[in-house]
Structure 1
Amino acid sequence: MILIIDDDVAVRVSLSLLLKQKGFRSKEAASANEALQLAEQYPFELILMDMNFSIETTGHDGLQLLGQFKKLLPQIPVILITGWGSIGLAVEGMRAGAADFITKPWSNEYLLQSVQTALSLSSHKAGNDESLTRKKLDQQYDLRNIVGQDPRLLQILKKIGQIAPTDASVLIEGESGTGKELIAEAVHRNSLRKNQPFVKVNLGGISSSLFESEMFGHKRGAFTDAKADRTGRFEMANKGTIFLDEIGELDLNSQVKLLRVLQDRTYEVLGDSRSRKLDIRVVCATNRNLEQLVEEGKFREDLFYRINLIKVKLPSLRERPDDIPLLVQFFISNLKRTYNRPELEISQRALYWLKELPLPGNIRELKNLVERTVLVSESEILEAEDFQAQAQQGPAKAGDKALPAVGTMTLDEMEASMIRKSMLFYHNNISKVARALGLSRAALYRRLEKFGIPYDITD
């Protein structure tokens, strides 16, 4: 049963009828006192509440009631309803423990989706399962190409399997090369949208001026260079899942446009004033600390809460070293077929040596090291010395490992320095530098222009 709290009788009746059509039972309250009384009488599973119950529209009465509910019924999810101009209130509510927020006028489809997602998520009990094994997970879920048996990874995979059937937005955090894209694909493959499109977008490679055209599409003649109609990424992903990688790289102006789409589930193609509806699941990824960016004013807090309904933090490879031999064997198995070397093997000593590597580039660095070694080795049994020879060719040198003293260099200066060193080491080969730094070519081009580093556009 769902509790609806709003001082506007029209809103209460509208929500009650909408929920009834989908098989939900509900009770209505016009005030905070009435709501608390009903909460004592009925076993509610979810609360839908407006932020204002008086002539004043400060939202303080709504926040106060939310706080009371989180104390009395901490396990019951609360979805807030507010006007677009009061999203700041909703953000405060999310900090206080609300499950989601809906803006007026709402989309019936999105509101129902939010209700069903909150109910589904609240039914999953958190906790460690000591009997959890990779075999059991593989029997339940489609986790192809994700290699590992580390207990932390298994808990993440279990969580992915549980939340995948919902439409909850997912934020995947982790260092570069930890496999964030594979996790996003697993969310999609185990969802009810698995037979619909899965569209990947690297936001770090899209300039602010092209953001609307890339994401929403444009009509011919919408601007000077619009020679033909273009389908946007959101339209490509409609009914399916959109994966927004490097979301921490998005500028504030583009963040506002993205928030509008995620909030209203509508968008407009450039050159066409007609609004189009969107039915989509959003998965984002970043290797940056978004909470810190929010504090610095570089990332919108309302967007952060919109994409952060479920957070998945991937461990670095150095935090799960026992998975390194499994990953190496997986890579070699694939390379046997790729390079037609069926007799290829790796010695136990080589596996032990690889397990001790720091691997700051994580899985991506390990994969590149294994492939380089396979390409240059003439022997069918790979030894530690084969990998040592290739590891020494990496851009990181012993003298470069020490970081500068605090206060002697800004983050931008450190980033520019690393890019210059990488450009020098790889003889200005953009593709190799981008791979070494864990960037897309487009994202690297942006940084080269930002720091005024010369490069050859023909590369």
Structure 2
Amino acid sequence: MILIIDDDFSVTASLALLLKQAGFAAQSAASPQEALQKLAHEKFDLILQDMNFSRRTSGEEGLALLKEIKQLQPHARIILITAWGSIELAVKGVQAGASDFITKPWSNAQLLQAVKTALRLSAVSAEPVQTAITREALDTQHDFSNLVGRAPNFLRVLDLAGRVSATDASVLITGESGTGKELIAEAIHRNSERKTGPFIKVNLGGISATLFESEMFGHVKGAFTDARYDRKGRFELADGGTIFLDEIGDLDLSAQVKMLRVLQDRTYEPLGSSRSRTVDVRVISATNRNLAEMVSRGEFREDLLYRLNLIALHAPPLRERVEDIALLAQHFLQNLGKVYRRPNLILSAKALQWLQQHTWPGNVRQLRHVIERTVLLHSKDVLDAADFVQALTMQPAASDKDTLPAVGSMTLDDVEKAMIEKAMKHHGGNISKVAEALGLSRAALYRRFEKFGITP
């Protein structure tokens, strides 16, 4: 049963009809007093609550009601209904215990999606928690084939990932670099109802602020110089599936506003177009940064953080799952044996002991690289500890020589222009090779030519 709390009869009537057509039973309450009376006598699976019940628009009444609801029914899931200009109020509501918020005016599809997600998460929370999670039990329920490990803290992450995969809830995966955040995101998609849809990976740290809109939302022909055709953005490519926003903490504040809008309304406008488009997508994001600290420093929007982390997962570093090192090493060794046609590769006891004693600041990624480097350096089948020590010492060390220009001597535009000119000279003006060397598309390179006044 769903409870709708709003003093506007047209709102409660339309919401009740929408929910009924979607197969949900609903009751309505026109005031906080009526709502509390109903809540005292009946348990509700979900509550849709407006934040204002008088001419005052401070939201104080809504926040007070929210706190009383949480006292009466602590486990109830609450979706707040607020105006777009009151996002700050919605964030306060989430801090007070609401599970989600939607803004007015809403689309019916967006509201129903929020309702379904909240109800599924409620069902997930109601599932009995296993006292001892086993890898075998998880593997019978979900496909975690690319995630190797049996450490209890790692299994807890997989268990939660498996349970929330059936929902459309946004997921924020945190953890140090190399801990497997992308693999966890892929597993959530693979075990979801969207598994037949696209899984689009976006490294936000690699997209400059000037290209953000074009890359994420696409552009139409003629939107800018050299926009010779329409181009789909990442969100449109992910329609019907999942979009994975890696390095979400690297977004600058202007891009965060644009990201919040599409995550909030599931609508966007391609660059150069005035027509809004809608997108059906699940959002999974990841970062190795502390977003809560960034919020306190004013570097990350709090409303965006709450929109991203309906479910939060933390990928533990390898030093906190030492018991998995042997499994991971054997897994990597087996795969490398197939790649390099050396099926008899094994680790000596001392080699395994050395691997387990190392701290691995680069986590699973570093472990894999060191094992592969060791396999390439030695032709023998039995790899010993000394072989891995040698491979580890060959990792590129930080250079003592600072080759960058002195701080203040050049702007970022100056540095970018100089590098383009250097690449042009190096490749003899070959545009394709220059673009590839700089990690740009030809169109993006031509835009920089125009920006810096460079003649190709």
| TM-score, normalised relative to structure 1 | 0.87
- Find the aligned partners of 1:10 and 1:219 in 2 and give their Cα distance: 39
- 1:114 to 2:114 alignment: yes
Which residue number corresponds to residue 37 of structure 2? Answer: 37
Q: Equivalent residues in 2 for 1:23-62 (5 A)?
A: 23-62=23-62
Instruction: Give the direction of change, closer, same or farther, for the CA distance of 1:214–1:453 in structure 2 (3 Å limit).
Output: closer
Which residue number corresponds to residue 374 of structure 2? Answer: 373
- Tell me which amino acid in the other structure corresponds to 1:83: A
Deviations 1:9-65 (A, max 9, x none): 111111100100111111111110010011122221111000000110100000000
- Find the aligned partners of 1:60 and 1:4 in 2 and give their Cα distance: 18
Deviations 1:277-316 (A, max 9, x none): 1110000000000000000000000000000100001110
Greater shift in the superposed pair: 116-125 or 162-171: 116-125
- Find the aligned partners of 1:176 and 1:456 in 2 and give their Cα distance: 32
Which residue number corresponds to residue 179 of structure 2? Answer: 178
Which residue number corresponds to residue 283 of structure 1? Answer: 284
Which residue number corresponds to residue 76 of structure 1? Answer: 76
CA contact (8 A) 2:348 2:383 kept: yes
- Tell me which amino acid in the other structure corresponds to 2:168: D
Instruction: Give the direction of change, closer, same or farther, for the CA distance of 1:127–1:174 in structure 2 (3 Å limit).
Output: farther
Q: Equivalent residues in 2 for 1:375-394 (5 A)?
A: 375-394=376-395
| 1:110 to partner: Cα distance | 1.4
Q: Secondary structure at the match of 1:231?
A: coil
- Find the aligned partners of 1:363 and 1:116 in 2 and give their Cα distance: 36
Instruction: Give the direction of change, closer, same or farther, for the CA distance of 1:127–1:350 in structure 2 (3 Å limit).
Output: farther
Which residue number corresponds to residue 336 of structure 1? Answer: 337
- Find the aligned partners of 1:231 and 1:454 in 2 and give their Cα distance: 26
Instruction: Give the direction of change, closer, same or farther, for the CA distance of 1:423–1:133 in structure 2 (3 Å limit).
Output: farther
Q: Secondary structure at the match of 2:27?
A: strand
| 1:393 to partner: Cα distance | 2.0
Which residue number corresponds to residue 103 of structure 2? Answer: 103
- Tell me which amino acid in the other structure corresponds to 2:55: I
- 1:204 to 2:205 alignment: yes
Instruction: Give the direction of change, closer, same or farther, for the CA distance of 1:81–1:421 in structure 2 (3 Å limit).
Output: farther
Which residue number corresponds to residue 189 of structure 1? Answer: 190
Greater shift in the superposed pair: 125-134 or 342-351: 125-134
- Find the aligned partners of 2:139 and 2:415 in 1 and give their Cα distance: 45
Instruction: Give the direction of change, closer, same or farther, for the CA distance of 1:184–1:142 in structure 2 (3 Å limit).
Output: same
Instruction: Give the direction of change, closer, same or farther, for the CA distance of 1:173–1:387 in structure 2 (3 Å limit).
Output: same
CA contact (8 A) 1:448 1:454 kept: no
Q: Secondary structure at the match of 1:123?
A: helix
- Tell me which amino acid in the other structure corresponds to 2:4: I
- 1:152 to 2:153 alignment: yes
- Find the aligned partners of 1:222 and 1:174 in 2 and give their Cα distance: 38
- Find the aligned partners of 1:312 and 1:243 in 2 and give their Cα distance: 14
- 1:227 to 2:233 alignment: no
| Alignment gaps of 5+ in structure 2 | 405-411, 427-436, 438-456
Instruction: Give the direction of change, closer, same or farther, for the CA distance of 1:178–1:127 in structure 2 (3 Å limit).
Output: farther
Instruction: Give the direction of change, closer, same or farther, for the CA distance of 1:449–1:245 in structure 2 (3 Å limit).
Output: farther
CA contact (8 A) 1:128 1:155 kept: no
- Find the aligned partners of 2:106 and 2:96 in 1 and give their Cα distance: 22
Q: Equivalent residues in 2 for 1:245-256 (5 A)?
A: 245-256=246-257
- Tell me which amino acid in the other structure corresponds to 2:311: I
CA contact (8 A) 1:63 1:93 kept: yes
Q: Secondary structure at the match of 2:4?
A: strand
Instruction: Give the direction of change, closer, same or farther, for the CA distance of 1:78–1:447 in structure 2 (3 Å limit).
Output: farther
CA contact (8 A) 2:202 2:243 kept: yes
Q: Secondary structure at the match of 1:218?
A: coil
- Find the aligned partners of 2:193 and 2:117 in 1 and give their Cα distance: 12
- Find the aligned partners of 2:339 and 2:401 in 1 and give their Cα distance: 28
Which residue number corresponds to residue 301 of structure 2? Answer: 300
Which residue number corresponds to residue 15 of structure 2? Answer: 15
- Find the aligned partners of 2:390 and 2:413 in 1 and give their Cα distance: 31
- 1:261 to 2:262 alignment: yes
Q: Secondary structure at the match of 1:351?
A: helix
Provide the aligned length of Structure 1 versus Structure 2.
416
- Find the aligned partners of 2:240 and 2:342 in 1 and give their Cα distance: 42
- Tell me which amino acid in the other structure corresponds to 1:95: Q
- Find the aligned partners of 2:370 and 2:413 in 1 and give their Cα distance: 25
| Alignment gaps of 5+ in structure 1 | 397-417, 429-445
- 1:134 to 2:148 alignment: no
- Find the aligned partners of 2:414 and 2:354 in 1 and give their Cα distance: 36
CA contact (8 A) 2:201 2:246 kept: yes
- Tell me which amino acid in the other structure corresponds to 1:192: E
Which residue number corresponds to residue 93 of structure 2? Answer: 93
C-alpha RMSD of the superposition: 2.2
Which residue number corresponds to residue 243 of structure 1? Answer: 244
- Find the aligned partners of 2:387 and 2:414 in 1 and give their Cα distance: 34
CA contact (8 A) 1:395 1:422 kept: no
CA contact (8 A) 2:39 2:72 kept: no
- 1:4 to 2:7 alignment: no
| 1:135 to partner: Cα distance | 1.1
Deviations 1:201-257 (A, max 9, x none): 000000000000000101111011312221100000001000000000000000000
- Tell me which amino acid in the other structure corresponds to 1:51: M
Identity in percent: 57
- Tell me which amino acid in the other structure corresponds to 1:327: L
| 1:423 to partner: Cα distance | 8.5
Q: Secondary structure at the match of 1:48?
A: strand
